[in-house]
Structure 1
Amino acid sequence: MTAAAVTGCERCGSALEVGDLRCPICGLAVGEPRERGVLPAVREQAKVVRCGTCGASLEYSAEVKAPRCAFCASVMHVETTADPLEQAEAFLPFTVDAAAARQALVGFLAQRRFFRPSDLAAAAALESLRPMWWPAWGFSAGARVSWAADSDAGSGRSSWAPHAGQADVTFQDVLVSASRGLSERECEQLSGAYQMGSAEGEARGPEDAQVERFDVTRSGARRQILAAVESVARERVEREHIPGRRFRKVHVAVVLSSLETKRYALPAYVLAYRYRKKLYRVVVHGQDAGVVLGDAPVSVAKVVLVVAAVLLTLGVLALLFMR
């Protein structure tokens, strides 16, 4: 299925997409397809493999039996479901190859961080490297933003002065994660480095790359998308519209005038490395090898050393004050 608009909302006329339960603009409940003069779509029986630990679901491949989850390494199980969900309609191609992803991991492990074990780069061993596309909504919207805030502009003898205003704001291809395998923080940090203009209609990347599926419809993600709109609107207001150098108590109210969504599949490498019998995960951007996110072990000896040093310092200070 594609996210093509099929009809308009009865209240505000905004475009609706297949699978919408409510209008994304005014929230009016959408009737059954026959009530809107649209033939109901036939629900396909889809096979997916789902991780029982993190909940991520991937497209089913008969060639891969009981695969391990690319995100948490748990064994996945085959699931057959009536599938009303949309699939990705735009794929961003991989521009980073597997060798570059491995090198990015080497650089990540070699970073000098005080609390990391000194032998991390030498002792860590690559366990797996999995290329995959993770799902995200890209939304473009027009909105009327009303805002109020205190700032130092025109404050006179006071520290703050109230300000308020309205602004018409346009959003273009703002990404909202639909992934269950990646954390929200990981998705936010990955999103900023994607080349959205490189999107293609078909997947282009490593042969063994997997596609994580969308688990909810656009209506199901409506609250998440609207929260992202408000967050971006707040950042835009703080950067462009509030006068002065300092501000506080920023409040925004957003009224959407349009909302178009597109389902993207975004490339990334998920790597697992082992250090002293424990697995750690690292995510490398599929289009920019300089973006590397991941977990690293902590040296217990260094933590104990720091705690002991702090306690010793406090003890010495206490003795000095007691004299």
Structure 2
Amino acid sequence: MTSPTHSPEDSRRRELGAFLRSRRERLSPQAAGIAAGARRRTPGLRREEVAMIAGVGTTWYTWLEQGRDVRPSVEVLTALCEALRLDAAEKRHLFILAGRQQPERRAATPEKVDGPLLHMLQSLVMQPAYVVGRRWDVLAWNPAAAAVFGDYGLLEGDARNIVHMVFTNPHHRRLLVDWEGLARAVIASFRAESAKYVGDPDFERLIALMTRSSPEFRAWWPRRDVVRNLSGVKHIRHPSAGSMSFEHMSFSIDDGSDMRLIVYTPLAEQNSIAKLEKLLETLPAERRTA
């Protein structure tokens, strides 16, 4: 006798139901703000209690736990997350199991680069690297990045933003061999990544500033071009080392912050590796630490 087969969708629904049940059973009535009352046979909350807190029907929620073909909306999943007191990792897991995109959480607090990431930056001796925040502000960098692109510590506020540097910083603009091509890619990539922050005051202020400050930005931003560039080759014209080529790659920091680590690897062409070594040797002592 052959065992019944289940589709991946069936398996996902069963796993979703099992996950909801496990979170329900671990949550005490007191933690959910419900009086314990008489002796309870069910560990944690009852199904009808979760349904009541989340504002959904008990029968519908029961079907969800049973793995039936019901499709909870983003709003219902959010309500269930709150009812079950899920943390950030559990919320993400629930939305993945439900096949839904979790609403983006806008970080309202100041962005901070933690020690382990700073230590990684410092260890990338021969790879210029920096960390950018959700708005592409440069938050941290290593000595190699300072040697190649300049000392970010001399820049403050909006001036330490990648878009601002590309379009309005004369030094940074002179570094880029194919400035127009790179600038167009930067503005299209920035638009694509900032879509989740439409209406955010910090983004709106930066865009308004760039529109006033750069004629190219003012002309290209309304075109609404979008692109997603995670890697590529960048050719620069360093004021003392001359022509150099780097392969660059962008890595997401998986902590929900929208921070990214950008790493540049010098290529053999144009003697870029030897030139970077020489730049690091001549870097002032106070700039040799991240």
Greater share of helix: 2
Larger RCO (CA under 8 A, 6+ residues apart): 1
Greater share of strand: 1
TM-score normalised according to structure 2 size: 0.23
TM-score normalised according to structure 1 size: 0.22
